[in-house]
């Protein structure tokens, strides 16, 4: 669903780039696994197609993959030879001089709610399904009636503190990205949303209610085992 938006954004950025030599891309909240490099591959493929169509010179890709420090970056690095091989096979990012495509991938650990990059160092920021994570559990949720998140039984005061935490976090995120991005840089953020005012439409709270019920059962069972033995 987001492919066309990302393609359009990166193509427009690339066409307006001057000089068109290097492009610095960050994927924030990249996770680790076989899909981690997919967004980056897509971005490189789109730029390369554009480059070949317009007969522009080849360029260097600096790719920064960010996640929290406990993310399994080693797994990502293990996928890199296959990633480079696939770029080479598709003849992408090559400059003919080196035995490795002109794509330099680095891991960047740390929360995207903090400073991660030097000022004006990125052309393009991508983040998919990461901004649902808050920087912390908000204060003031003690009266959440045994829930682990917002559900239909949560009091209004709990909605309010979650909302305020999200607002604070998102503003912090934007503040830092404003520093990271170069002039005319661009950002595509994909996150869950809903189309109407009803917080519980589209089953938004169902899984959290199930999770809370399961946790409560688990704790009750632990207590039972503890005190009956
Ligand atoms: C659901 S995964 C999304 C993975 C991938 N971007 C995708 O679209 O499939 C969310 C990722 O965001 C990371 N994340 C959550 N909070 C973060 C933060 N404050 N800073 C950096 N990464 C964060 C998590 O560790 C997790 O790997």
> How do residues 88-106 score in pLDDT, each as one tens digit?
887 665 555 445 568 999 9
Tell me which DSSP letter residue 76 carries. H
The rounded distance, in Å, linking the Cα atoms of 9 and 126 is: 10
SS3 state at 132: coil
- Residues ≥6 apart with Cβ < 8 Å to 110: 66, 68, 69, 116
| Pick from 67, 69, 68, 98: nearest CA to 84 | 98
In this prediction, residues 150-174 reach a mean pLDDT of 93
How far is the centre of ligand 1, averaged over its atoms, from the C-alpha of 140 (Å)? Answer: 25
pLDDT reported for residue 192: 82
Contact 159, 59 (CB under 8 A): no
The DSSP symbol for 163 reads H
Contact 104, 62 (CB under 8 A): yes
CB of 67 closer than 6 angstroms to any ligand 1 atom: yes
Does ligand 1 lie within 6 Å of residue 113's CB atom?
yes
Does 32 contact ligand 1 (Cβ within 6 A)? no
Secondary structure (3-state) at 27? strand
d(Cα 172, Cα 121) in Å, to the nearest integer? Answer: 18
| Residue 181 reports pLDDT greater than 90 | yes
| Segment among 40-49, 52-61, 97-106, 152-161 with least mean pLDDT | 97-106
Alpha carbon of 7 to ligand 1 centroid (Å) = 21
What domains does the chain contain, in order, with CATH numbers?
Answer: 3-133+169-192 (3.40.50.150)
């Amino acid at each position: 669903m987001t492919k066309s938006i990302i393609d359009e954004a990166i193509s427009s950025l690339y066409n307006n780039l001057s000089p068109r030599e290097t492009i610095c891309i960050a994927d924030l909240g990249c996770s680790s696994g076989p899909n981690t490099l997919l967004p980056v591959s897509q971005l490189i493929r789109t730029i390369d197609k554009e480059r070949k169509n317009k007969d522009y010179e080849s360029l260097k890709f600096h790719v920064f993959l960010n996640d929290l420090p406990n993310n399994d970056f080693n797994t990502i690095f293990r996928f890199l030879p296959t990633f480079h091989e696939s770029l080479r096979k598709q003849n992408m990012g090559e400059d003919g001089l080196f035995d490795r495509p002109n794509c330099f991938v680095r891991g960047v650990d740390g929360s995207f709610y903090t400073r991660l990059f030097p000022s004006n160092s990125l052309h393009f920021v991508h983040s998919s399904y990461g901004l649902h994570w808050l920087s912390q559990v908000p204060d003031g949720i003690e009266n959440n009636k045994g829930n682990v998140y917002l559900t239909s039984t949560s009091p209004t005061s709990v909605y309010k503190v979650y909302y305020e935490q999200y607002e604070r976090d998102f503003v912090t995120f934007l503040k830092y990205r404003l520093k990271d991005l170069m002039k005319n840089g661009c950002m595509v953020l994909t996150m869950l949303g809903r189309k109407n005012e009803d917080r519980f439409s589209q089953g938004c709270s169902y899984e959290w209610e199930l999770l809370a019920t399961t946790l409560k059962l688990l704790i009750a069972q632990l207590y039972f085992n503890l005190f009956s033995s």
